[in-house]
């Protein structure tokens, strides 16, 4: 034992995970303590920070659930301040000896079998009612009971089951609650282990902690096997209520880990007796729904529905008719009632002929303790109760228990079933051999590369637009601010010509209507006000970006998650006006990283095309807007150099200009680089080339025509310039090119997103 564990003191007279009643550390913990090494507060705090950072990269820092909503400039809701309350992972694991875990696993398997038999009986022969074990008045009074189901077509009620356990002060494990409706915790357990194993990999290996990662593979096989009979290549989806759900992080992670679509109620529709996914060009069949929406919110057509828009109309009817399978079955939530839990010992005896192995936890019973790190405590480790959640999956009739799980630390005064501390523990099962697994059976392959739900394409499209809008506003504000800091005399240059031009450029960067300088207000004050407004506009777009990304997290890489977490924190700092002076520089770096990840870490399928379409449209409009606003004015020659520098810098093209034109600034050369140079990745011409590729790749003839119209106007302007020997009016040029681009932006929404229901049924009819 390390010195810190030797100093750890458990409460007198109660069971403790580490220290036995004789004051001697338990055998399993001696090995763990040696593997973890020195546990002084600085080491523990650093490990906790590292695990928090890794969890943040998976979305816990930017998938926000408590948002004060505002409305951005395209009418979408955006958070006025992003608030996230992710759980923390305790740097000290919860340790179970393999023999003890085996006893718990046996009791949990029996409990799952007993509850499955109970559900079959309640919705079938009702033997328990006939024999007087379950009073009919009690059964029909339970809120979770669904008598309208009758005898549904169902292979298995419980595909996934979880049970909360707590060890009492006498060292006896007892059941806190059963989770049968839409049990959570599996994704959290996998996330916690992933983070912990990266922070202390040597310790995990040294103690031989049982691996838990393959439990997700077992769940995928179980879900595939739950499909209605005769489905040769079953399609499975994870059904979520969306980012507002408190456990959405887990939904998103599980969908990614299982390799299946994450869908919301609006993404699917019941038709012709089956469930269909609304994709870009029609409907695709769904065979199994792994539902993360509980019974009362699943189907608005059911009598027991509690309201809200998260459910799917007709889904329960489709499952009852055998058109789609639900995991878990609708109506399984009745087994979570405390009234049935109290009868479970008797029902187990009647239905299985067995004595229930795990007793229930009585209210108020004292609990055992475990070491928990408290950063501001008098000792680095304090004794706290922990509730353990075991995860079980039924695969081919065999119940598999994850060899670990997740622990929740109880705060003082907490009820065991409702922890409030948001502090989790990774659970290590040590001292045994790896558990046997069922034979590996390859699941049918389903190609989802071209299968993109409309909502996902919509979110990615607006994510791209919000990212570019945020960059445009942040860069414009930073450029003008730096120029002003470096040369305050610019305000007086050419009778305020620089100030008027940069004021107009800032207005354009916000997407605000052009306007003249406010009368009666000093130019410096007017610019400072506009700089603040432009920074605020960047913050609004950052919030919109984060919100859109939250709903499509499974399409984004882990590294992208880290960048989004940083952007969410930057947004909060800007809104709170606590951002350091160079915060916009940091934001621009993160936005550049986000853009690079989109290009290098995203498969070039339809989803990516919509992401990049949004970015390219917005960048095109931004180039046109900045050029029109700042250079469309009659800029005196004396002010042309700093104004042109501002426009070039705002479009990330100043270095390119200086390398191409090593002379004093020339307006025609600036316009050539920004508008017509297709080798400049920030130019209008470059954006038009990319837009042309995307609309052609989508097979969208109307889109091709609109991009071509913008290109023709640009080419016509160049031709007119050459023929007439003069520069065409910049305003006319901008208006001619902008019009088809705005039409393209509207057409994308009308073509794919305005009407989410397309009656065409495609693929796998």
761 DSSP β-pair partners: 283
pLDDT score, position 456? 92
Query: What is the distance between the alpha carbons of residues 399 and 441, in angstroms, rounded to a whole number?
Result: 16
Return the number of other C-beta atoms located less than 10 Å from residue 230's C-beta.
7
pLDDT tens digits, one per residue of 150-196: 777 788 999 999 999 999 999 999 999 999 999 999 999 999 999 99
* Of 574, 564, 573, 586, nearest in space to 536 by CA: 574
When the pLDDT of each residue in the chain is averaged and rounded to a whole number, the result is 87
The 3-state secondary structure of 504-548 reads: HHHHHHHCCCCCCCCCCCCHHHHHHHHHHHHHHHHHHHHHHHHHH
* CB distance 332 to 180 below 8 Å: yes
* Of 577, 341, 571, 396, nearest in space to 470 by CA: 571
Max CA pair span of the chain: 101
The answer on pLDDT for 276 being more than 80 is yes
The two three-digit tokens of residue 546, written as one number: 């984060």
Query: Hey, CA dihedral for 117, 121, 124, 125, is it positive or negative?
Result: positive
Placement of tokens 């549904």 in the chain: 152
Confidence of residue 763 (pLDDT cuts 50, 70, 90): very low
Q: Percentage of the chain with pLDDT > 70?
A: 89
pLDDT score, position 714? 64
What value does the mean pLDDT take over residues 276-298? 93
* Of 261, 257, 223, 224, nearest in space to 240 by CA: 261
The answer on pLDDT for 444 being more than 90 is no
pLDDT score, position 232? 82
pLDDT score, position 107? 98
Query: What is the distance between the alpha carbons of residues 170 and 176, in angstroms, rounded to a whole number?
Result: 16
Query: What Cα–Cα distance (Å) separates residue 472 from each residue in 28, 330, 461, 750?
Result: 57, 49, 17, 26
407-411, 507-511, 635-639 — which is least confidently predicted? Answer: 635-639
Can you give the length of the chain in residues?
A: 765
The answer on pLDDT for 720 being more than 60 is no
The two three-digit tokens of residue 114, written as one number: 């007993």
Query: What is the distance between the alpha carbons of residues 181 and 329, in angstroms, rounded to a whole number?
Result: 8
* CB distance 424 to 513 below 8 Å: no
* CB distance 391 to 186 below 8 Å: yes
Confidence of residue 335 (pLDDT cuts 50, 70, 90): very high
pLDDT score, position 603? 78
Query: What Cα–Cα distance (Å) separates residue 551 from each residue in 269, 458, 545?
Result: 19, 10, 10
Query: Hey, CA dihedral for 563, 568, 569, 575, is it positive or negative?
Result: positive
Confidence of residue 468 (pLDDT cuts 50, 70, 90): very high
The answer on pLDDT for 594 being more than 50 is yes
What value does the mean pLDDT take over residues 107-130? 96
| Helix (H), strand (E) counts: the chain | 24, 19
Q: Tell how strand 68-71 and strand 370-373 pair up.
A: unpaired
Domain ranges within the chain, ordered by starting residue: 92-430, 456-753
Query: What is the distance between the alpha carbons of residues 715 and 712, in angstroms, rounded to a whole number?
Result: 5
What value does the mean pLDDT take over residues 122-142? 95
The answer on pLDDT for 66 being more than 50 is no
Query: What is the distance between the alpha carbons of residues 136 and 108, in angstroms, rounded to a whole number?
Result: 27
Which residues are CB-neighbours of 580 under 8 A, at least 6 positions away?
573
The two three-digit tokens of residue 505, written as one number: 């450029």
41-55, 133-147, 610-624 — which is least confidently predicted? Answer: 41-55
34-38, 196-200, 415-419 — which is least confidently predicted? Answer: 34-38
The answer on pLDDT for 110 being more than 70 is yes
Query: What is the distance between the alpha carbons of residues 508 and 731, in angstroms, rounded to a whole number?
Result: 14
* CB distance 614 to 621 below 8 Å: no
351-365, 373-387, 649-663 — which is least confidently predicted? Answer: 373-387
Query: What is the distance between the alpha carbons of residues 301 and 307, in angstroms, rounded to a whole number?
Result: 10
Confidence of residue 765 (pLDDT cuts 50, 70, 90): very low
DSSP 631: I
pLDDT score, position 172? 97
Q: Which among 246-250, 398-402, 548-552, 571-575 has the top mean pLDDT?
A: 398-402
The answer on pLDDT for 226 being more than 90 is yes
65-69, 115-119, 381-385, 758-762 — which is least confidently predicted? Answer: 65-69
Placement of tokens 């620089």 in the chain: 498
Query: What is the distance between the alpha carbons of residues 640 and 261, in angstroms, rounded to a whole number?
Result: 53
Q: Does residue 702 or residue 599 have the better pLDDT?
A: 702
Query: What is the distance between the alpha carbons of residues 214 and 510, in angstroms, rounded to a whole number?
Result: 49
The answer on pLDDT for 114 being more than 70 is yes
The answer on pLDDT for 132 being more than 50 is yes
Which residues are CB-neighbours of 615 under 8 A, at least 6 positions away?
464, 465, 467, 468, 595, 598
Query: What is the distance between the alpha carbons of residues 36 and 380, in angstroms, rounded to a whole number?
Result: 14
Model confidence pTM above 0.85: yes
Angle at 65 between CA 62 and CA 67, to 5 degrees: 90
DSSP 123: T
Burial 168-181 (b: 16+ CB within 10 A, else e): bbeeebbbbbbbbb
Query: What is the distance between the alpha carbons of residues 143 and 304, in angstroms, rounded to a whole number?
Result: 8
Helices (H), 143-247: 186-199, 201-207, 214-225
Give percent helix, percent strand, percent coil of the chain, each to the nearest 5: 50, 15, 35
Dihedral-angle region of residue 360 (phi above 0 means left; psi in -120 to 50 means alpha; beta otherwise): beta
pLDDT score, position 387? 97
Element (H, E) at 98: helix 98-122
3-class SS of residue 389: strand
pLDDT score, position 564? 87
pLDDT tens digits, one per residue of 315-329: 999 999 999 999 999
pLDDT score, position 664? 79
């Amino acid at each position: 034992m390390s010195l810190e564990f030797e100093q750890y003191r458990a409460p007198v007279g109660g069971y403790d995970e580490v220290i036995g009643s004789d004051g001697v550390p338990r055998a399993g913990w001696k090995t763990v303590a040696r593997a973890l090494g020195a546990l002084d507060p600085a080491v523990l705090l650093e490990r906790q920070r590292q695990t928090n950072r890794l969890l943040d990269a998976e979305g816990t820092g930017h998938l926000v659930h408590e948002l004060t909503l505002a409305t951005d400039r395209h009418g979408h809701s955006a958070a006025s301040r992003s608030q996230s309350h992710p759980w923390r992972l305790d740097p000290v694991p919860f340790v179970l000896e393999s023999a003890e875990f085996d006893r718990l696993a046996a009791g949990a398997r029996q409990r799952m079998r007993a509850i499955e038999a109970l559900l079959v009986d309640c919705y079938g022969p009702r033997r328990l009612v006939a024999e007087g074990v379950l009073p009919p008045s009690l059964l029909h009074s339970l809120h979770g009971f669904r008598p309208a189901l009758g005898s549904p077509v169902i292979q298995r009620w419980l595909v996934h089951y979880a049970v909360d356990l707590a060890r009492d002060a006498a060292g006896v494990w007892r059941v806190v609650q059963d989770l049968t409706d839409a049990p959570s915790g599996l994704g959290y357990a996998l996330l916690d282990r992933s983070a912990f194993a990266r922070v202390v990999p040597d310790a995990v290996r040294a103690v031989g902690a049982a691996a838990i990662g393959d439990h997700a593979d077992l769940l995928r096989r179980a879900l595939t096997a739950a499909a209605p009979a005769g489905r040769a290549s079953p399609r499975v989806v994870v059904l979520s209520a969306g980012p507002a759900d408190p456990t959405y992080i887990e939904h998103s992670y599980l969908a990614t880990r299982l390799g299946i679509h994450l869908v919301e109620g609006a993404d699917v529709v019941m038709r012709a007796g089956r469930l269909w996914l609304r994709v870009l060009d029609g409907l695709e069949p769904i065979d199994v729904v792994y539902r993360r929406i509980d019974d009362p919110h699943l189907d608005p057509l059911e009598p027991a529905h509690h309201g809200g828009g998260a459910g799917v109309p007709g889904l329960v009817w489709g499952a009852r008719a055998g058109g789609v399978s639900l995991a878990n079955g609708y109506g399984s939530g009745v087994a979570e009632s405390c009234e049935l839990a109290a009868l479970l010992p008797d029902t187990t005896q009647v239905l299985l002929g067995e004595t229930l192995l795990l007793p229930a936890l009585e209210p108020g019973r004292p609990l055992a303790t475990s070491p928990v790190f408290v950063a501001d405590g008098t000792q680095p480790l304090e004794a706290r109760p922990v509730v353990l959640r075991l995860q079980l999956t039924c695969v081919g009739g065999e119940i598999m228990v994850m060899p670990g799980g997740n622990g929740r630390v109880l705060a003082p005064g907490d009820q065991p079933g409702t922890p409030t501390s948001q502090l989790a523990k990774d659970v290590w099962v040590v001292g045994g051999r790896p558990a046997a697994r069922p034979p590996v059976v390859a699941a049918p392959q389903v190609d989802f590369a071209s299968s993109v739900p409309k909502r996902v394409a919509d979110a990615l499209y607006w994510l791209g637009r919000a990212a570019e809008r945020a960059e445009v506003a942040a860069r414009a504000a930073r450029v003008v601010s730096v120029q002003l800091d470096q040369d305050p005399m610019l305000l007086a240059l050419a009778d305020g010509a620089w100030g008027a031009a940069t004021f107009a450029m800032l207005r354009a960067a916000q997407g605000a209507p052009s306007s003249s300088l406010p009368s009666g207000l000093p130019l410096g004050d007017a610019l400072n006000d506009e700089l603040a407004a432009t920074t605020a506009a960047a913050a609004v777009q950052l919030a919109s970006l984060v919100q859109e990304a939250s709903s499509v997290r499974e399409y984004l890489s882990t590294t992208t998650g880290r960048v989004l977490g940083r952007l969410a924190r930057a947004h909060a700092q800007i809104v709170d006006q606590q951002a350091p002076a160079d915060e916009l520089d940091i934001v621009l770096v993160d936005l550049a990283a986000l853009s690079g990840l989109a290009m290098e870490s995203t498969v070039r399928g339809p989803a990516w095309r919509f992401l990049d379409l949004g970015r390219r449209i917005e960048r095109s409009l931004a180039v046109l807007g900045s050029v029109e606003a700042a250079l469309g004015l009659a800029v005196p020659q004396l002010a042309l150099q700093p104004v042109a520098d501002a426009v070039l810098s705002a479009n990330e093209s100043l270095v390119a200009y200086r390398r191409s034109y090593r002379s004093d600034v020339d307006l025609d050369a600036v316009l050539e680089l920004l508008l017509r140079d297709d080798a400049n990745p920030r130019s209008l011409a470059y954006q038009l080339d990319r837009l042309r590729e995307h609309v052609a790749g989508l097979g969208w003839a109307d889109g091709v025509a609109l991009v071509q119209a913008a290109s023709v106007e640009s080419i016509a302007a160049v031709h007119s310039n050459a023929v007439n020997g003069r520069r065409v009016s910049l305003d006319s040029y901008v208006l001619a090119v902008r019009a088809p681009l705005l039409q393209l932006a509207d057409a994308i929404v009308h073509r794919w997103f305005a009407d989410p229901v397309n009656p065409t049924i495609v693929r796998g009819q």
